[in-house]
């Protein structure tokens, strides 16, 4: 969508003068994208749920501040990124992560369930596993490009970096994924 189409879209939505209806429309159209992006950065479903909820609360409060300088999707993903980074920096997140780690470590030591582990591994796509292992700066650029299909310019807007930086990170992300695939293939051939 170009800026004019974005403006027309929000104008159309705002003609109902019901901010709840506008929010519902945005959540329906972009809720999955926001959640997936939050999850890709946190790797935790409950945190992605919380962040998604917070993103749409913020959007609801600031609905009429959208300036149409980017697409609605780019605007929402930029808000998601900023809220996720704030969340990851918070003391609460660090405490929850430590508690989760200690709890899961204790559970694994006390009660290992091989069947459960096999089912979980089968449920997770091999490629997503590799993507989620990437450092955040490579992971997010790859997800914004491949999953959310944003342009280099839009990714640069979301991340607040230059298009050259986006291209460089994307190049390095692809190389890292290629190396992971090679390592994985070598490991599975040797078994």
Is the alpha carbon torsion for 29, 145, 124, 134 positive or negative? negative
Residue-wise pLDDT for 75-132, tens only, equals: 899 999 988 888 877 655 455 444 444 444 444 444 455 655 554 554 345 667 777 7
What is the pLDDT at residue 13?
A: 53
**Would you call 175 helix, strand, or coil by DSSP?**
helix
For the chain, the C-alpha Rg in angstroms (whole number) is 19
What is the pLDDT at residue 34?
A: 94
Percent of the chain, pLDDT > 70? 64
d(CA 26, CA 23): 5
Query: Token digits for 150?
Result: 């944003």
Q: Do 5 and 46 touch, CB atoms closer than 8 A?
A: no
Residue-wise pLDDT for 42-56, tens only, equals: 888 888 999 999 999
Instruction: Give the burial string for 51-82 (b: 16+ CB within 10 Å, else e).
Output: bbebbbeebeeeeeebebebbbbbbbbbbbbe
- DSSP-derived secondary structure letter, 160: T
The closest alpha carbon to 56, from 14, 18, 90, 26, belongs to: 26
């Amino acid at each position: 969508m170009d800026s004019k189409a974005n403006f027309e879209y929000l104008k159309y939505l705002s003609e109902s003068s019901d901010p709840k209806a506008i929010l519902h429309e945005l959540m329906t159209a972009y809720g999955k994208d926001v959640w997936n992006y939050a999850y890709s950065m946190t790797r935790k479903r409950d945190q992605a749920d919380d962040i998604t909820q917070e993103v749409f609360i913020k959007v609801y409060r600031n609905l009429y501040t959208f300036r149409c300088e980017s697409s609605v999707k780019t605007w929402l993903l930029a808000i998601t990124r900023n809220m996720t980074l704030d969340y990851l920096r918070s003391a609460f997140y660090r405490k929850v992560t430590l508690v989760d780690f200690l709890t899961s470590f204790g559970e694994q030591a006390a009660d290992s369930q091989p069947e459960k582990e096999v089912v979980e591994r089968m449920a997770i796509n091999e490629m997503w596993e590799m993507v989620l292992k990437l450092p955040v700066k490579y992971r997010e650029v790859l997800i914004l490009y491949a999953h959310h299909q944003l342009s280099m310019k839009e990714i640069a807007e979301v991340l607040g970096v230059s298009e050259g930086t986006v291209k460089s990170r994307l190049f390095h992300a692809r190389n890292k994924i290629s190396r992971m695939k090679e390592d994985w293939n070598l490991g599975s051939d040797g078994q």
